[in-house]
Structure formats: C-alpha cells, structure tokens
Amino acid sequence: MGKGKRRGILGGVALLVVALVGAGLWRHVHEPDDPTHDSAVVDAAKKVDRVQSRFEYDHLYQADKYVHSASQDPDVAVLTVSGDTHWQTGVTLVLRVTGHGVEIGADGSVIDERDEAICFRLQLGPRDDSRDDDIECPPDDPVQVAEDPSLDGVDDRLKTALEAVDPDGAAVRTAIDGLKLDPAIAVDVTAQDGRVGVALRAAQYDCILARVTGNGAELWRPAHTQLAPGELSCAARVALSSNFGKGLR
C-alpha cells in the first residue's frame, strides 16, 4: 500500500475519532463493555421511571413543579431545566441519578460493585415526551430544592392531643404546639360555632384534616385525587364543612 493511501486512511480514522469525541460517543466506542456500569444504568433508570410516574400521577405540567417533585428523591438531582410548561414551551430536565451497579460472575459471586452518577435527559412536551438514558453529565451544580416535611407518624399523636382538649381555638393550638412538629408543616386552625377545624399540610398530597367538637376529635386524610388542583384544599374550613370525611362523587 502506498504512503499516500496509508496517510489518507489514517487521516480518515483521526477525523472519525474527532467526530466521535465531539458527539460525546467516544467513551462508549473506545471503552470495553462494563457490566457494572450497565447494571448501574438499569438501576438508575428504574428510579427515573418512578420520578416520571409521579409526574403523571400528580398531574404536573409546570417546570418548577417537575423540579420540585424530582428533587424529593434522595438519589435524584436536577442539573438543568428549561421551558415553562408542558403544553406550551415544553420542559427539558437533565437529571443526575445515583445508580448501584453490580457485576455477578458465572458462579454467582460479586466481581465488582459500586455506585455511579448516571444522567438522563427528559423532554416533557409540548407534543410528545421522550427520554435519553446515560448521557454525558453536564458540569452544572444541582438545582437547590428544599426537602418536603412529612406527616408520617403524626396521625395518632395528633388524635391523642386533640382528644385531651375542649373545642377551643387557643387550646387546640396549644395542643398542636406541644407536638413539636417540623416548622415546615403548615398549621391552620379555625374555630366556629363551638367546633374547631384543623389542617396540617406537609406537601400538596400530604394532608391531615381534623375537627374537635364536644364529642371529641375526628381525623381524616383526604385521598390523593381529592387533593389534586381544583379539588379540595388542605384547609381548616374544609374540616368544618360537609365535605369532611367524604369521597369525591
């Protein structure tokens, strides 16, 4: 083979490498198969599946709501977000997800095991949704989002505290203060006609309603669908209304 032809082939290979690097593909072509990495991608992808399921379950469509919801998972960080709403501009999220990878040998022993940061691009609207798995992670710092408080384990404590007081607004507030709840939990108390309504809200779908009467205290957790936008609000007035304790019709 002539020198000129060899130079031409080598030059073509060099251009291919440059093109692959520019497209972010060289890592996948150049590196050998990595079963541990592949396993980490599968694990991370399951976590993204759950994130997307929550998006749909909670009927989200605004960029900030997507970011807030995704960030509540301790293994998920939102690196970038663009767009405003699903149906108008569309929303694009890049997530960094911690995936746990394991390589298992033929005899069932663990050959390698590690956590990896795997990135995903979610395109939400404006017409169709799509997702790219295991993309090159951008260098951006995660979007800072406060973790939602929780009402887990509060129900019985609240019921006991309210059963011990009269239907008086001040007494009810004092009883709730005595529970030392997370300050991030919103507390709403309303007294009306010898009854007291109470609402504790930790997040959109984490709500306890209660009412205190001369007969004692009643608690109710509205269903997820009842707390959707446009339905019931997590407010003390609802605890005093005819909607208390009822399902949607």
pLDDT digits (tens, 9 = 90+) for 115-128: 999 999 999 999 99
Q: What is the pLDDT at residue 28?
A: 42
Q: What is the pLDDT at residue 32?
A: 56
Given a cut of 70, whether residue 25 has pLDDT beyond it is no
pLDDT tens for 33-75 read 899 999 999 999 999 999 999 999 998 999 999 999 999 999 9
Given a cut of 70, whether residue 24 has pLDDT beyond it is no
Q: What is the pLDDT at residue 229?
A: 84
Distance, CA of 191 to CA of 209 (rounded, Å): 14
Given a cut of 50, whether residue 26 has pLDDT beyond it is no
For 85, other C-beta atoms within 10 Å of its C-beta total: 17
Q: What is the pLDDT at residue 247?
A: 75
Mean pLDDT of all residues in 216-238 = 94
Q: How far is CA 177 from the centre of its chain?
A: 29
CB 52 within 8 A of CB 45: no
Among 26-30, 88-92, 195-199, the minimum mean pLDDT is found in 26-30
CB 198 within 8 A of CB 189: yes
Q: Counting every residue, how long is the chain?
A: 249
Tell me the three state secondary structure of residue 1: coil
Mean pLDDT of all residues in 75-84 = 98
Q: What is the pLDDT at residue 27?
A: 43
Tell me the three state secondary structure of residue 95: strand
Q: What is the pLDDT at residue 22?
A: 45
Given a cut of 50, whether residue 6 has pLDDT beyond it is no
pLDDT tens for 162-180 read 999 999 999 999 999 999 9
Q: What is the pLDDT at residue 29?
A: 41
- The answer to whether the pTM exceeds 0.75 is yes
Mean pLDDT of all residues in 200-215 = 96
User: Is the sign of the CA dihedral 123, 128, 133, 136 positive or negative?
Assistant: negative
What confidence category does residue 16 fall into, taking pLDDT thresholds of 50, 70 and 90? very low
CB 123 within 8 A of CB 143: no
